[in-house]
A and B are shown apart, each in its own frame.
Chain A
Amino acid sequence: MAVSVAPRTWWSGGSYPNWLRAAGRYLPIAIVVAVWQLVVELDLVDRAFLPSFGETVRALWEMTRNGEIVVNLLVSLYRALGGLVIGSVVGVAIGLAMATSRRADQFLGPLVATTYSLPKTSLVPLFILWFGIGNVTNMLSVMLACLLPVIVSTYHGVKAVPPVIVWSARAMGTPHRLILWRILLPSASLSIFTGIRIALGFCFVLTISAEMIASRTGIGKLIFFYGESGAYAYMFGGLLAIVIVAYAADRALLAAMHYLLRWHDSIHAAHAGG
């Protein structure tokens, strides 16, 4: 959430130490967890439908110790982040080409516009048919899902570069390749990162969906398997793990963006969201 517009609260005054302020900020999550535990302990809900938080954490701990969660998480992360990296690189290249060349724009524009709204999960059954079950199917669908937001944000970012800057560079004899690297990409970087952040969300969704639809390994498969076999504490444990990982990945990307773009004027104002 945007820091600048956040209402002042009792813990945001100056007199508290940092750790207490952080604790105050995350207290609501602790309250939700406590309510979850209490509701189960007091038998307000059927234990068959909701394992307690303690049981969930124990199950997660057990799965961590026997390596089950680590192995499957690594498999899923490999697919998700691999697809994300390939999709982002290709997406930036295509977006850049579309923004700088009218012919590329005319050719790729309609293709991007029509495929943008296609749920990429629908391609999973087709890819299974083509490539079988496994990494190729999974990463290809992740890659395609990550591609489009990155193309669009790169395109808009590059289009928003003031032409005066490009003209001045050209007037000073900067070669075309350097204009790309020194001017267009850096100016568009904030927009590109915003696209990559959207793609980061997609990459987890796609990986997990593809694993749930058909897979032998991965965290999605693990959660689905425990759900089907009725081991709900383990199912919740797996889910807890993926929620934490997705949150950490999002924060890590934000931190990386703040570090890499610390020179950018609008980084502090523009990036608080979500």
Chain B
Amino acid sequence: MSELNLLRQTIHFEDPLPLQSGASLSHYDLVVETYGKLNAQANNAVLICHALNASHHVAGPSPDDPKDIGWWDNMVGPGKPVDTNLFFVIGVNNLGSCFGSTGPMSINLESKEPYGAHFPVVTVEDWVEAQARLADRLGIRCFAAVMGGSLGGMQAMAWATQYPERVAHCVVIASTPKLSAQNIAFNEVARNAILSDPDFHGGNYYKYGVVPKSGLRLARMVGHITYLSGDDMAEKFGRDLQRAVGASDEYKFSFDVEFAVESYLRHQGDKFSTYFDANTYLLITRALDYFDPARRFDGDLSRALAKAQAQFLVISFSTDWRFAPERSREIVKALLDNKHQVTYAEIDAPHGHDAFLLDDLRYHGIARAYFEKIYEQIETKIGST
């Protein structure tokens, strides 16, 4: 078999899901994509957790739009580092998101209207609870690996402590054990852009037939700056002026787009604001802010990670200033304090936080080698039973 074997399904859950905030979701849907094949022992499953703006669509062309390639297609697929010829890979759209799983755009069956502002605030830990129910439904008792980048890495870490016996390997890429004040500050600017958009209507904009597009656009522009490194921006755009070929390169002395970087950010913002939901942006940035597993342990991350049983692979990127290598080293230190199994690679890459989504031989080489070892362990286990 060397096909991706993509299967997309929407799975409905009727058991109420209690949330960290004290609220609960009485019923909900999760949109899921799976790739490859679950083996008879059901021990080759890999859960891929998504970050802010991604979805269940991890790999391959989308069933409804062949041009829409999965967000981690360079990592997951036949012959890729996470090889779907060997592993059964699961992508799940998280609660509160806007790609089909229950979120602010969904109809609240009680009010018969979209949830909008009434959708409860969800946390990384809540997502893991929902994912655990999904695993139950799919017949997976223990994942070969739970893996994610950025916010996805937070979910992988949360899995390792919420369900220590259900995660054999935990792969945490370009992530952090908690947001810094600077990280929260950027999120706050982004949220403020949305909240202050006149089309926001307190989060209930759906019924007015509008979306807070300019706020969402601005939020994305701010966010996008934090995904790139200064060097990367300098190389891509420098101080290049945005001019048609042959046009004058004199300054225009106006506030129109002058520099190439402005054009790029506006383009990113425009694109994003056509497909993403503003309420989801608020919810997911808040989930990022709240994540802090050490908080219940007097800030001691080592104690927070004590009960993990998984083996860890932690990867960071040298020019990532959003979740810098220092943040990953905090995770590594906490794991070492507990004598947990851990491998840490610090990839020298110029692309800032976004590097975790990009092609890089060293990065993908480490991931590939690590998953090959995971597969060897699975085969050994099967051989010995």
Verify that A and B bind, or say they do not. no
Identify the B interface with A (CB < 8 A).
none
Identify the A interface with B (CB < 8 A).
none
